[in-house]
Amino acid sequence: MTSFSSRVAPAFFAGVFLLSAATLSVSGADPIPIAHRGLLRHAPENTLRAFAVCLELGMGFELDIRTTKDGHLVVLHDDSVKRTTNGPARSVRDMSLAELQQLDAGLWFGSSFAGLRVPTLEETLALVKERKRAPTVIALNVKQLNPDGEAKLVALVEKYELLEESFAFDQNSEMSHRLKSLNPKFRIGQNVNRQSIQTRLDEDFLDVYLLTSAPTAEEVSLLHDRGKQALFNFAGNGDGRRNPTVWKQVQAAGIDGILTDYPLECRTAWRDIAR
C-alpha cells in the first residue's frame, strides 16, 4: 500500500499546521465538526487529502462506502465514477480495484490535486489511526455492500481500533442488525426526526442519533441519559445550511457533533462564542 506521505503534497499543509495549532486550543467541551465527504469545498471529496486535513484540524468526517467488482471496499459517493474522476459513466460495481485506481480523483477539482486516487476504506481507516490528534467521529455512510463486504467493514473497524469513534448509517435495518451481530460493539447510526426520538429509544438499538432537526437541550439530555451519541445532521450546501445562528443554537444544546459542509466556518462561529 502506498504510504500516506507520498500521496499528500507537503505544500498543501504549509498553512494547515498554523491553523491547526489555533483550532486545537478550543475547549474540549465543544462539539466535533464532522466534515461531509471531508473538506469537500476545499479539496476533492472523499480523498485521503481531504480527510487528512480534517484530522490535522481535530475534526471528524463522513465518507461513502462502495464495493468494487472484485469485492474491495472503496470510498466514493456516486455509483458512477464520472463526476469525481476522469473516468467514463461507469459503475463502481462493474470495475475492479485495479481499474478504479488508475483513475484520477483530483484533477476535476483543480490542477494542484492531480494524481489523487479513489482510496480504499482500509487506506482511509489506516490514515485515521495514524493521524488523529484526539478522539474523533468517523461517519461511515454505507452506499453499497454485499454480505462479504459487511464482514470486511466490521473487521476493518476492529483492526484499526475505531469501534468507539465510528458508526455506520444509511444501510437498511436488516443490514444494521447483521453488522451488529458480527460485533455487538460495532456502532449503528440512523437519521432520526424529532417525532421519532422516543420510538427509537424504546427500541434501544441505535447507538448514534443523527438528528434531522436542530435539537433542544432537553432532547440531547434525553439521549445522553440513555448513553446515546447525539449528532445533528446539517449536511448540504447553500445559505440555509451555512447558518451561524443554528450552529450556535445546537452547540448550546450540548450536541456531540454536527455533520456539515461548512466545518471551518462552523468552528469559527463556535470560537467566537468563547471569546
Residue with cell 462552523: 266
Choose the catalytic residue: 72, 77, 177, 224. 77
Residue 193 burial (CB count, 10 A)? 10
Sign of CA dihedral 243, 248, 250, 251: positive
Residue with cell 467541551: 29
Q: What is the C-alpha separation between 136 and 148, in angstroms, rounded?
A: 27
Q: What is the C-alpha separation between 236 and 249, in angstroms, rounded?
A: 18
DSSP letter assigned to residue 108: T
Angle between helices 48-56 and 121-131 (to 10 degrees): 20
Active site residue 224: no
Choose the catalytic residue: 36, 42, 72, 177. 36
Active site residue 77: yes
Which residues are designated catalytic?
36, 77
